[in-house]
Amino acid sequence: MKKISLLIFCLILFKSNLSLSNETDIYKKIDLFTEVLEKINKDYVEEVDQSDAMDAAINGVLQSLDPYSSYMSPEMLKEMQTETRGEFGGLGIEVGMEAGVVKVISPIDGSPAESVGVKAGDYIVKINGTQVQGKTLSEAVDLMRGPVGSEIEITVRRIGVRKALTFNIVRDIIEIKSVKSKVIENEIGYVRLTSFNDNSSDQLEDIIKDYKKNKKINKYILDLRNNPGGLLNQAIRITDFFLDNGEIVSTKSKKKFDNRKWFAKKGDLIDGDTLLILINYGSASASEIVAGALKDHKRAIILGESSYGKGSVQSIIPLKNRGAIRLTVAKYYLPSGKSISEVGVRPDIEVNEEGDDFRIKTDTDNQLNYAIKLLNG
């Protein structure tokens, strides 16, 4: 009961920030919460792990705020820190919650999930036959975790497809290579950015400088499809590569003194050459900052599908138990003043994925093929 008492104490402290008119309601809710816990302990058909129950209660509070806020136990925080170093075991998908259902934000390039055909926007309804609806995001992620080399079965619902789709996936080491490049038809510099990691902007800058040595290259494609985002500072720096001036992005939070704006410095790395950006529903957060800012400044042609619409900033806030909360602390705004939350960035030229065998950067990639034809006139 110690953990329960601690939570109730925290709720009372939280109450102290509320107006007097709300105090009575808060006390009633605290009493109700305590009563429910007592009834569960006394009458529930099975033994309840109090620690797990309290973790679920804390997580429930956070996930009621928005799909991106959540609680991380000490074990989960350690796993997340391992993942951000760029190599981990799993399926290779970025997931979130929407209306109580686990939703694929994007599959990672070359991951087991992408190779079997899991797509951004898929709703995961079963994991190894277990219904996912009603579970927290943390619980669903726990079900997906397992030893490298082991197999998992996931069932998804896809918009526009009548029947549920089932995929058998073998867990593997997921190595995130955030920047890949190639020269297309001798004159188009193509760069695929799959995430915004610590060194993404440095890698991209080196690639562009190499391209500039090739006098034939005068058109560029920046592919942000299935890029779920990452570090804000990387998104700002990469956007700045293609601008001479003007606002890049702003953030607004509850505390006005935390509101910020970022502006471009003089110097366009590609000297005003044509830039085309590919986006899809798996392009989220930092990807949307880059695409949205360059669209607002009319510096790039945006081609593909509308992006995800994740226009919020999350901070990892440590807790005394060595866990943490991931909490939304601000929202992004484009130079036009528009928020991308739940709206996303709309392409200048809409080109949808075609066919069940569609794969990025293959012969079936009709979006990239369209972009190449467009740039070649």
Q: Which residues are catalytic?
A: 285, 296, 310
CB 56 within 8 A of CB 136: yes
CB 34 within 8 A of CB 84: no
With CA atoms as reference, report the closest residue to 107 among 192, 191, 195, 170.
195
Cα gap 52→79, rounded to integer Å: 18
Question: Phi and psi of 161, rounded to 5°?
Answer: -115, 125
Q: What is the DSSP letter of 196?
A: B
CB 224 within 8 A of CB 291: yes
* Alpha-carbon 302 to chain mean position: 20
Who contacts 222 (Cβ-Cβ below 8 Å, separation ≥6)? 191, 193, 275, 276, 277, 278, 290, 300
Question: What is the dihedral sign for C-alpha 44, 46, 50, 52?
Answer: negative
3-state SS, one letter per residue, for 78-135: HHHHHHCCCEEEECCEEEEEECCEEEEEEECCCCHHHHHCCCCCCEEEEECCEECCCC
* Alpha-carbon 25 to chain mean position: 36
Both structure tokens of 119: 């797509």
Helix then strand then coil, % of the chain, to nearest 5: 30, 25, 40
Residue 312, beta-bridge partner list: 331
State the amino acid at position 336 in one-letter form: S
273 burial class (0-12, 13-18, 19+ CB within 10 angstroms)? middle
Dihedral Cα 307, 116, 154, 316, nearest 10 deg:
-50
